[in-house]
Chain A
Amino acid sequence: MPPPGPPGPVRRAGEPAAPAVAKADPEADPEVASAVVELSAEDDAAVEVLAREWADEVEGTSYVPMGSDELVEYLTEISVDLVGALRTRPARTAAGHDAGRRLVHAHFTGPSTVERTLMLLGARLPELLGEDLREDVLALVGALAAGYATTLRDRTLDEQEAIRRAVIVARHQTEQALHASEARFRAMFYEAAIGIGLGDMQGRIVEVNPALTQMFGYTAQEMRRLTVGELAHPEDLPSVWVLYERLLAGELDNFRIEKRFYRKDGEEIICNLTLSLVRDERGRPSYQVAMLEDVTERHELQSHLEYQAYHDTLTTLPNRALFSDRVDRIFSTTPAGSTRRVGLCFLDLDGFKAVNDSLGHEVGDSMLQAVADRLAEQAADGELVARMGGDEFVVLVENSRGVEQLVDLAERVLAALAEPLELAGQELAVSASIGIVERPVVGGDASELMRAADITLYSAKADGRGRWALHDPHRDEAEITRFALSAAMPTAIEREEFFVLYQPLVSMADHGMRGVEALVRWHHPRLGVLGPGRFIGLAEETGAIVALGHWVLRRACRDARRWYDEFGDDAPFVSVNVAPRQLHELSLLADVEAVLAETGLPARLLQIELTERALTTDEGAPLKTLDGLRALGVRIAIDDFGTGYSSLSYLRTLPVDVIKLDGSFGERLRAEDVSDIVDERIVGTLVDLGHALGMTVCAEGVETSAQAGRLRRLGCDEGQGWLFAAALPREDIGDVLRDPDAPTWPGPRAVDGRATSSAP
């Protein structure tokens, strides 16, 4: 910005550096603007002095958007005009008016600005331009004051009007915004999915939204006639209404509960209710706002899910989870000194797997449902019937009056099941075994109770179908061992913990060895050597017998093959026991064939021993398998003959090569002098019959030479027993064969602590 101009003609109104606000001055007097007055050098100097003094006087007295240089320049312009007006003849004192206006335009609105301006101009203009101008100066200054006042008044009025108009606009906008927000509120209230109600402090319902009316089935009008108190429900806890009173009293600002309500139609709904207190500006409670969310469905779903979690879908009975919860609760809630007793019947259907397998799962499922119904009928109050899974059920007596109650219950259940079931158009017999446990609650726990029940059920099953057994703590040990053994068996087979001994089968004529019976033993890592009595039954129950039988078959055939390699035609045949279960495996024939092929043992050196029961209980498939085996050249022997129920005439229909008379027949023939002729007659008849059918007859359990003599005289072809030899390791059999004339065979050997001659 150029400094105030040098002396000389000045006309600066059009210069660009003028302050922005003062730049365009529409009200400028055209006369003044056009009257260019040439100022003398002295007057220029006077203008410069005046403008500087003026700027010094007024700087800071008003807010003007100018720097100090700009200020001086602006005042210089005005000074030029003022001096010019005074130099004009007659003096154009009206120019003062314009100067006053320009001051206001530049925003010299501070009161002291005008005061100082008037003082300065009044004093300094005559001094600078000549005392003769005093009159004109006075008039000029007066005009300036008038111009200033007029312009400032206008400006003030304009600004006041502008700010008031701004207020009106702002209010209008605020109102519109309020309106919009009210509309939004209304929409929120009306469209809300949640029920909203407004109540006054007397509990009258004042306003409700559609969601709430829908929830309750009332119209809004009907609801507005209600009071909060009328929404009580008999199941409300007293605490709900205590909370409500506290809220009304202003002690509580809000609370949230789950509460039941009745709809207009009487139906019940469950809601999450949030009640809030609204206070006025002074903090006094003024009304209450309720927000309700209908959670009835959620509740139903939850109870449905809970029901599903605790019930068996097939039978609709409570399931294991519910049962376990109950049992746990019994033990956890019964105080230490209590005499409370608990009992349960643990029940499992006999032969259910066979039903499923032969008649199909649908029939099996129907059977379970029918059984469930019968059980449920037998259960009295305080007795919980649950399905534990599969074909296992339990009846829990939460407060037992004693063992008799449980036994009575078990008998009722067995009786109820004795009626045949009418299923899929046929009558099906069903039976169950029940393990009963009854004991004091204190001192026991849930898992121990369940273990006892499990074991007891097991004993009941071992006792035969359709029985109950009462828990006997002493029996536990043995049972637990049985469980442990059956669990360990599959791995034991893999780890080759089993081994085979061979008991010679000798010719009754010359006591020469004709064959050997393979007898399995288990060398248990902890329990030592176990005889078959300890594990064959278990293996049959668990099905491990199939794998075990196969293993024994291979072992025996391999050993027999070695003897065959060494002794040729003098080699003994090997007789291997096959359990009924194996006989039902369709693969038995193929397995035998494969083992023979693998070991290279001639089929005639293999004999398969079956119990009489295995042959008589079933027809069909096993007979086919037997025919197949015989076709290979394998011989079939009936083990323990005479203990079963088969009629002698039935024997003729069986594809059998050898009958092994059960040891019990020979027992009474052991003594030196036998008086009972009947026993001799029976054995004789059996031998004759066997021979008549072309079979070889072998006597088991031969222990004395007197016995051996009688059996030989009665016609037995072969014999087996301690008299001849105990079960021997494979190597010993080899030794005997190599030296058949050795004085005695290795005698009864206590390999397993108890020599045995019994099968398998």
Chain B
Amino acid sequence: MLAPTEDGDGVTRPAWAPREVDIDRPSAARVYDYYLGGSHNFAVDREMARQAIADWPDLPRIMQGNRAFMRRAVRYCAALGIDQFLDVGSGIPTAGNVHEVARLENPDARVVYVDVDPVAVAHSVALLADDDRTGVVQADFSDVDAVLGDPVTRGILDLGRPVAFLAVALLHFVPDTRAPRDVIGRYRDALAPGSHLVLSHATADGVPERAVDHVALYRRTDTPMSMRPHAEVLRFFDGFSLVEPGLVWFSLWRPDHPVGEGAERLPGYAGVGRRD
């Protein structure tokens, strides 16, 4: 599905060679911003996003569904008393960011945002400059030591206490060649008991043709996509106990109101697991 050479350049690119800031290529973060109605994007991003929406008109709704799940999950964790959040693949800040949502429950909530996209990170830094209970780290999800060892992370989070670890709409940008399950396992081992994994993931389940085109579009970006079936997504929760209702379509995860038919129209799996 993915040509290995297109697997970002993170694998072969040595640590000292910085990632290029290339705004002639679409970026997943900015395309996503466009889906959500933001303007933190450029013509290339919009062009790709428009084409994606033309192919698959439900996309904006799917993204909204993902975002809504994240919001409910963050509130769920905060209600459990978790006041530390590590949001990996946080993207470009938009309405309803994790710290804003969390602080509705707990005004002292602390959040570290991590993304590999330098522009998304620079924007996050600018936006959060005055908030000393949030921090931003530019790092690759796979580089567990860089994420957890960054002084910003260390300064804001106390890894001795439970953390909500968010990998929301992230792992479909991490191909199997980079062993995302092992990486999650390493985060799991580093997190204190009582921590939670908040995860959502794109899937081709139920929409195979659409997904093929969609994946093809993302080869234009630095972060091509890997859709995964339910069983594979479930394996990311190895070592976590899934909370009710388990790994389900976005909109079925603890909805505010009972949801009628058609949850599968917004394909994408969501779940929250607890590290015991």
A interface residues (Cβ-Cβ under 8 A, vs B): 20-21, 60, 62-69, 106-107, 109-110, 155-156, 159-160, 162-163, 165-167, 169-171, 173-174, 177-178, 180-181, 184-185
Contact assessment for A65 and B67 in the assembled complex, using a CB-CB cutoff below 8 Å: yes
**Contact residues in B for A156 (Cβ distance below 8 Å):** 39
> Is B63 on the interface with A (CB-CB < 8 A)?
yes
* With A20-B100, A174-B21, A181-B17 as contacts: A107 and B94 at CB distance below 8 Å: yes
**Contact residues in A for B30 (Cβ distance below 8 Å):** 163
Q: Is the interface of A mostly helix, strand, loop or mixed?
A: helix
Cα A179 to Cα B7 in complex, Å, equals 26
Contact of A65 among B39, B101, B123, B127 (CB under 8 A): B101
**Contact residues in A for B121 (Cβ distance below 8 Å):** 170
* With A170-B21, A181-B17 as contacts: A159 and B96 at CB distance below 8 Å: no
Cα A66 to Cα B30 in complex, Å, equals 22
Contact of A165 among B92, B94, B103, B126 (CB under 8 A): B126
> Is B104 on the interface with A (CB-CB < 8 A)?
yes
What would 7 A/B residue contacts be, using CB atoms closer than 8 Å?
A20-B100, A63-B94, A65-B71, A107-B95, A166-B122, A169-B122, A181-B17
Cα A69 to Cα B257 in complex, Å, equals 9
Contact assessment for B21 and A63 in the assembled complex, using a CB-CB cutoff below 8 Å: no
Contact assessment for B71 and A109 in the assembled complex, using a CB-CB cutoff below 8 Å: no
**Contact residues in B for A173 (Cβ distance below 8 Å):** 18, 118, 122
* With A20-B104, A163-B123 as contacts: A174 and B20 at CB distance below 8 Å: yes
* With A20-B96, A65-B67, A166-B123 as contacts: A174 and B118 at CB distance below 8 Å: yes
> Is B88 on the interface with A (CB-CB < 8 A)?
no
Contact of B42 among A67, A163, A185 (CB under 8 A): A163
Contact assessment for A159 and B40 in the assembled complex, using a CB-CB cutoff below 8 Å: yes
Cα A181 to Cα B19 in complex, Å, equals 12
For B16-54 the 0/1 string (1 means CB < 8 A from A) is 111111010000001000011111111000000000000
> Is B61 on the interface with A (CB-CB < 8 A)?
yes
**Contact residues in A for B39 (Cβ distance below 8 Å):** 155-156, 159-160, 163
> Is B256 on the interface with A (CB-CB < 8 A)?
yes
Give the shortest distance, in Å, between A164 (CB) and chain B (any CB).
9
> Is B229 on the interface with A (CB-CB < 8 A)?
no
Give the shortest distance, in Å, between B266 (CB) and chain A (any CB).
10
Contact assessment for A181 and B118 in the assembled complex, using a CB-CB cutoff below 8 Å: no
Contact assessment for A162 and B126 in the assembled complex, using a CB-CB cutoff below 8 Å: yes
Give the shortest distance, in Å, between B216 (CB) and chain A (any CB).
24
Cα A63 to Cα B16 in complex, Å, equals 38
**Contact residues in A for B40 (Cβ distance below 8 Å):** 159-160, 162-163, 166
Smallest CB-CB A-B distances: 5 pairs: A65-B96, A166-B123, A177-B18, A109-B37, A159-B39
* With A20-B104, A110-B37, A171-B21 as contacts: A163 and B92 at CB distance below 8 Å: yes
Cα A184 to Cα B15 in complex, Å, equals 12
- B231-276 residues with Cβ-Cβ distance < 8 A to A are 256-257
Contact assessment for B122 and A63 in the assembled complex, using a CB-CB cutoff below 8 Å: no
Query: Quick one: closest A residue to B125, CB to CB?
Result: A169
Give the shortest distance, in Å, between B45 (CB) and chain A (any CB).
10
* With A60-B64, A69-B256, A107-B37 as contacts: A169 and B126 at CB distance below 8 Å: yes
Cα A68 to Cα B255 in complex, Å, equals 10
Give the shortest distance, in Å, between A103 (CB) and chain B (any CB).
12
Give the shortest distance, in Å, between A515 (CB) and chain B (any CB).
99
Cα A160 to Cα B123 in complex, Å, equals 11
Contact assessment for A62 and B122 in the assembled complex, using a CB-CB cutoff below 8 Å: no
Given contacts A67-B71, A174-B19, 20 further A-B contacts (CB under 8 A): A20-B96, A21-B95, A60-B61, A63-B36, A65-B100, A67-B68, A68-B256, A69-B256, A107-B37, A107-B94, A163-B119, A166-B123, A167-B23, A169-B122, A171-B21, A177-B18, A178-B17, A178-B18, A181-B17, A184-B16
Cα A177 to Cα B63 in complex, Å, equals 34
> Is B194 on the interface with A (CB-CB < 8 A)?
no
Contact assessment for A21 and B92 in the assembled complex, using a CB-CB cutoff below 8 Å: no
Contact assessment for B60 and A170 in the assembled complex, using a CB-CB cutoff below 8 Å: no
Give the shortest distance, in Å, between A67 (CB) and chain B (any CB).
4
- B121-156 residues with Cβ-Cβ distance < 8 A to A are 121-123, 125-127
* Interface bracket on B: 35 or more
Give the shortest distance, in Å, between B76 (CB) and chain A (any CB).
13
Contact of A162 among B61, B71, B123 (CB under 8 A): B123
Query: Quick one: closest B residue to A157, CB to CB?
Result: B39
**Contact residues in A for B63 (Cβ distance below 8 Å):** 63
Contact of B118 among A170, A178, A184 (CB under 8 A): A170
Query: Quick one: closest B residue to A188, CB to CB?
Result: B16
Contact of B18 among A107, A160, A174 (CB under 8 A): A174
Cα A160 to Cα B20 in complex, Å, equals 20
Give the shortest distance, in Å, between B50 (CB) and chain A (any CB).
13
Query: Quick one: closest B residue to A113, CB to CB?
Result: B37
Query: Quick one: closest A residue to B120, CB to CB?
Result: A166
Give the shortest distance, in Å, between A242 (CB) and chain B (any CB).
31
Query: Quick one: closest A residue to B123, CB to CB?
Result: A166
**Contact residues in A for B120 (Cβ distance below 8 Å):** 166
**Contact residues in B for A20 (Cβ distance below 8 Å):** 96, 100-101, 103-104
Contact assessment for A109 and B38 in the assembled complex, using a CB-CB cutoff below 8 Å: yes
Cα A63 to Cα B21 in complex, Å, equals 28
Give the shortest distance, in Å, between B118 (CB) and chain A (any CB).
4
Contact assessment for B16 and A181 in the assembled complex, using a CB-CB cutoff below 8 Å: yes
Query: Quick one: closest A residue to B40, CB to CB?
Result: A163
Cα A60 to Cα B67 in complex, Å, equals 12
**Contact residues in A for B103 (Cβ distance below 8 Å):** 20
Contact assessment for B119 and A170 in the assembled complex, using a CB-CB cutoff below 8 Å: yes
Query: Quick one: closest A residue to B70, CB to CB?
Result: A65
Cα A167 to Cα B44 in complex, Å, equals 14
Cα A107 to Cα B64 in complex, Å, equals 12
Query: Quick one: closest B residue to A66, CB to CB?
Result: B96
Cα A110 to Cα B23 in complex, Å, equals 24
**Contact residues in A for B71 (Cβ distance below 8 Å):** 65, 67
Query: Quick one: closest A residue to B121, CB to CB?
Result: A170
Give the shortest distance, in Å, between A156 (CB) and chain B (any CB).
4
Query: Quick one: closest B residue to A17, CB to CB?
Result: B104
Give the shortest distance, in Å, between A173 (CB) and chain B (any CB).
7
* With A107-B95, A163-B41, A174-B21 as contacts: A63 and B67 at CB distance below 8 Å: yes
Give the shortest distance, in Å, between A17 (CB) and chain B (any CB).
9
Give the shortest distance, in Å, between B133 (CB) and chain A (any CB).
15
**Contact residues in A for B67 (Cβ distance below 8 Å):** 63, 65
Give the shortest distance, in Å, between A606 (CB) and chain B (any CB).
92
Query: Quick one: closest B residue to A162, CB to CB?
Result: B123
**Contact residues in A for B96 (Cβ distance below 8 Å):** 20-21, 64-66, 107
**Contact residues in B for A184 (Cβ distance below 8 Å):** 16
Cα A59 to Cα B50 in complex, Å, equals 21
Cα A656 to Cα B39 in complex, Å, equals 131
**Contact residues in B for A64 (Cβ distance below 8 Å):** 95-96
Give the shortest distance, in Å, between B122 (CB) and chain A (any CB).
4
Cα A167 to Cα B121 in complex, Å, equals 10
Cα A683 to Cα B160 in complex, Å, equals 117
Give the shortest distance, in Å, between A170 (CB) and chain B (any CB).
4
Query: Quick one: closest A residue to B63, CB to CB?
Result: A63
**Contact residues in A for B64 (Cβ distance below 8 Å):** 60, 63
**Contact residues in B for A21 (Cβ distance below 8 Å):** 95-96, 100
Cα A60 to Cα B64 in complex, Å, equals 8
Query: Quick one: closest B residue to A1, CB to CB?
Result: B256
Most chain A beta-carbon neighbours within 10 Å: one of B18, B19, B104: B18
**Contact residues in A for B256 (Cβ distance below 8 Å):** 67-69
**Contact residues in B for A106 (Cβ distance below 8 Å):** 95
